[in-house]
C-alpha cells in the first residue's frame, strides 16, 4: 500500500512542540535557531516533503501523469495549470460551489480542496472522460436536451456529481435528487432543468425512453 507522505506543516508543529517541551528552559533567539535545525532534521527523518517541488504521480482518466509539484498545489490546479485538463472549473476555490467536482475512486470530491499529493494512488475521473468518439454520456445528453445550463460554469461539476449520484441511486425520486446534488450550486438557477436531466438520464441508463 502507498505510504502517505507528510507535508512540512504537519511535522513542523509537532516537532516544534516536542522541542520546546524537551528543552524546558527560557526560549531565546539562540534556542529558536537550534530548534529550527532540529525541526529540519526531524522532518527529514520522518519523510516529510516540501515546501519545494516533489515528484507526484497522478492517474487521470486512466492515464498516468508524472509531475513535479509543490505539495501545496491542489488537484484542481495541478490539472488546470500543469496538465491543461481544464474541464473542471475553478469558481469559489473553497469547497462551496462544486464547480470543480471530479471523481476520486468514483466518489465526488471538490478538487479545489484536495491536494494533488493526496490524490496519488487514486483513480481520478474528470468530465473529459465522459465522451467517447464524440458521443455524449447519458447525463451530458440529458443536460443538453433539458436546457440544464446557462453560462455553463457549474455544468462540468454538476455532470460529474450527477454521474456519481446515478451510479449510487439508479432510481432516484425528485427529493433524493435535490438532496443528492446539494453540494453543487448554480448561480444561473438552472436547478429545474438539472433535476429533469437527472430523471431523464436515469431512465436512459436503464435503456428506457428519454422524455425528449
74 near ligand FES (CB under 6 A)? no
In the sheet where 54-60 sits, what is the strand order? 63-69, 54-60, 123-125, 101-104, 107-110
Task: Report the 10 Å Cβ neighbour count for 97.
Answer: 22
107 near ligand FES (CB under 6 A)? no
104 near ligand FES (CB under 6 A)? no
Binding part of the chain for ligand FES, among 30-38, 95-103, 164-172, 197-205 by CB under 6 A, reads 95-103
| Alpha-helical segments (H) within the chain | 8-23, 29-45, 75-77, 138-145, 155-168, 174-180, 191-205
Q: Could you say which DSSP state residue 118 is in?
A: G
150 near ligand FES (CB under 6 A)? yes
- 48: cell is 516529510
**Residue of 83, 92, 104, 136 that binds ligand FES (CB under 6 A):** 92
> At closest approach, how far in Å is the CB of 97 from ligand FES?
4
**Residue of 48, 69, 112, 161 that binds ligand FES (CB under 6 A):** 112
Give the Cα separation of 175 and 167 in Å (integer).
17
> At closest approach, how far in Å is the CB of 95 from ligand FES?
5
Residues 173-202 that bind ligand FES (CB under 6 A): 186-188, 190
Give 7 or 148: the residue with its C-beta nearer to ligand FES.
Answer: 148
Amino acid at each position: 500500500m502507498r505510504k502517505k507522505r507528510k507535508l512540512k506543516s504537519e511535522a513542523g508543529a509537532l516537532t516544534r512542540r516536542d522541542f520546546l517541551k524537551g528543552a524546558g528552559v527560557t526560549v531565546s533567539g539562540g534556542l529558536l535557531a537550534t530548534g529550527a535545525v532540529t525541526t529540519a532534521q526531524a522532518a527529514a527523518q520522518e519523510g516529510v516533503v516540501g515546501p519545494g517541488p516533489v515528484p507526484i504521480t497522478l492517474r487521470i482518466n486512466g492515464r498516468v501523469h508524472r509531475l513535479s509539484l509543490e505539495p501545496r498545489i491542489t488537484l484542481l490546479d495541478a490539472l488546470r495549470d500543469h496538465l491543461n485538463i481544464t474541464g473542471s472549473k475553478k469558481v469559489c476555490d473553497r469547497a462551496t460551489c462544486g464547480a470543480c467536482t471530479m471523481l476520486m475512486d468514483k466518489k465526488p470530491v471538490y478538487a479545489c480542496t484536495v491536494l494533488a499529493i493526496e490524490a496519488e494512488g487514486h483513480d481520478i475521473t474528470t468530465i473529459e472522460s465522459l465522451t467517447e468518439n464524440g458521443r455524449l454520456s447519458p447525463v451530458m445528453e440529458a443536460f443538453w436536451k433539458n436546457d440544464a445550463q446557462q453560462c455553463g460554469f457549474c455544468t462540468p461539476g454538476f455532470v460529474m456529481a450527477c454521474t456519481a449520484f446515478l451510479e449510487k441511486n439508479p432510481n432516484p425520486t425528485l427529493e433524493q435528487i435535490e438532496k443528492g446534488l446539494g453540494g453543487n450550486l448554480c448561480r444561473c438557477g438552472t436547478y429545474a432543468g438539472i433535476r429533469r436531466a437527472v430523471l431523464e438520464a436515469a431512465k436512459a441508463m436503464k435503456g428506457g425512453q428519454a422524455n425528449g
